C-alpha cells in the first residue's frame, strides 16, 4: 500500500480522470518507500520549468537512498545557479591519481558527489570547430564509461544527466552519444546503478528515456507533437496527455512504478 496519497491505476481508462495533487512531504514519503538502487528516473519539462531544481534541491537531499550513493552529475551548462554548488566540480572522470589520493585522506562520511563540467563546444557547417565537439565527446564518453565500469552492487551509484538531449541528439549541436547513454539505461541497474535523465527537449531523446525508468516526472507540455511522445511511456496515455496540458508552472505529473501510481507534485508545496 502506498505511503502517500495518490491514484493507483489499473487497466485502461476510457475517459481522463483528474489526478490528485499531493504535498511534497507526502511525495517524499512515497519515494522513500518505493525508490531502490538500480531504478531509473526521467524528468521532462520545458526550459525554465524547474527540472534541475526538482532533482538537485528536491529529490537528492530528501532521499537517503540517493544522497548516500556515489553521484556523478554531468553538467553541460556549468554556470546554472541550481547546479553549480552541487558536489565537487571536476573537469574529467576518472579523477587523476593526485585527486584520488587527496580524497582518500578526507573523512569517510563525506558524500562522494561530483559535478563533471562539460567543456563548452560549438559547431559550424565547415567543421572549423569540430575539435571542440570531439573534445567534449571524449570527456563525457570517458566519464560515462568509467562510471559504468566502476558501478557494482555493493556500492549504489547515481548518474545524473542534466540535459540528456544535448548528449544523445544526432544533429548538431548535440554530441551524438546515444549508445553509451542507452547502455546505462539497460545494464547499469544490474550493478545497483541508477540513471536520472533530464531534458527540456522530449523530441530529441531516445525511446529508452520513456520506457526504461521506473519513475517519471512530466512538467507542463503544451506542444501537441511533444505530448504525443508521452505515448511511449505506455499505460494511461489519455490521462497523461490531458494532465500535462493542465499543469501549473513548476508542477509535475509524477508517474511512479511504471505509471501504476500517479499524482501531481511541486517541490516544497504543503
- Report yes or no: 170 and 204 within 8 Å, Cβ to Cβ: no
Angle between helices 178-187 and 130-150 (to 10 degrees): 10
2 falls in which pLDDT band (50, 70, 90)?
very low
- Report yes or no: 35 and 69 within 8 Å, Cβ to Cβ: no
Q: What is the pLDDT of residues 143-197, one digit of tens each?
A: 999 999 999 988 999 999 999 999 999 888 899 999 999 999 999 999 999 999 9
Coil vs helix vs strand at 43: strand
Domain locations along the chain: 1-35+214-270, 41-202
Give the model's pLDDT for residue 1: 39
How far apart CA 23 and CA 73 sit, in angstroms, is 27
Phi, psi for 137 (deg, rounded to 5): -65, -40
Residue 173, preceding bond cis, omega within 30 degrees? Answer: yes
More confident residue, 106 or 258: 258
* pTM tops 0.85: yes
Residue percentage of the chain with pLDDT more than 70: 87
Is the CA virtual torsion 207, 209, 213, 218 positive or negative?
negative
CATH architecture of the domain covering 41-202: 3-Layer(aba) Sandwich (3.40)
- Report yes or no: 232 and 211 within 8 Å, Cβ to Cβ: yes
User: Which residues are CB-neighbours of 201 under 8 A, at least 6 positions away?
Assistant: 163, 165, 169
- Report yes or no: 200 and 47 within 8 Å, Cβ to Cβ: yes
**Residue reference for cell 517524499:** 28
Q: What is the pLDDT of residues 223-261, one digit of tens each?
A: 888 877 877 887 788 888 899 989 999 999 999 999 999
C-alpha distance from residue 45 to each of 2, 169, 200 (Å): 26, 17, 5
Is the CA virtual torsion 117, 90, 195, 110 positive or negative?
negative
Amino acid at each position: 500500500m502506498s505511503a502517500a496519497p495518490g491514484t493507483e491505476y489499473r487497466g485502461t481508462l476510457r475517459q481522463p480522470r483528474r489526478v490528485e495533487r499531493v504535498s511534497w512531504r507526502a511525495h517524499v514519503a512515497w519515494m522513500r518507500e518505493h525508490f531502490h538502487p538500480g531504478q531509473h528516473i526521467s524528468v521532462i519539462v520545458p526550459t525554465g520549468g524547474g527540472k534541475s531544481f526538482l532533482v538537485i534541491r528536491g529529490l537528492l537531499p530528501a532521499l537517503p537512498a540517493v544522497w548516500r550513493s556515489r553521484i556523478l552529475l554531468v553538467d553541460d551548462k556549468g554556470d546554472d545557479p541550481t547546479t553549480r554548488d552541487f558536489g565537487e566540480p571536476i573537469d574529467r572522470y576518472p579523477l587523476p591519481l593526485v585527486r584520488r589520493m587527496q580524497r582518500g585522506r578526507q573523512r569517510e562520511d563525506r558524500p562522494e558527489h561530483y559535478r563533471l563540467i562539460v567543456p563548452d563546444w560549438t559547431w559550424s557547417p565547415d567543421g572549423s570547430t569540430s575539435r571542440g565537439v570531439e573534445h567534449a565527446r571524449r570527456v563525457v564518453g570517458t566519464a560515462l564509461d568509467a562510471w559504468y565500469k566502476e558501478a557494482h552492487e555493493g556500492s549504489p551509484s547515481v548518474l545524473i544527466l542534466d540535459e540528456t538531449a544535448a548528449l544523445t541528439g544526432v544533429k548538431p549541436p548535440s554530441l551524438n552519444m546515444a549508445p553509451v547513454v542507452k547502455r546505462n539505461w539497460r545494464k547499469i541497474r544490474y550493478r545497483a546503478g541508477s540513471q536520472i535523465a533530464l531534458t527540456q527537449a522530449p523530441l530529441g531523446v531516445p525511446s529508452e528515456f520513456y520506457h526504461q525508468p521506473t519513475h517519471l516526472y512530466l512538467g507542463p507540455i503544451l506542444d501537441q507533437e511533444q505530448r504525443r511522445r508521452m505515448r511511449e511511456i505506455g499505460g494511461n496515455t489519455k490521462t497523461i496527455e490531458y494532465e500535462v496540458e493542465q499543469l501549473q508552472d513548476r508542477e509535475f505529473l509524477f508517474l511512479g512504478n511504471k505509471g501504476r501510481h500517479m499524482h501531481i507534485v511541486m517541490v516544497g508545496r504543503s
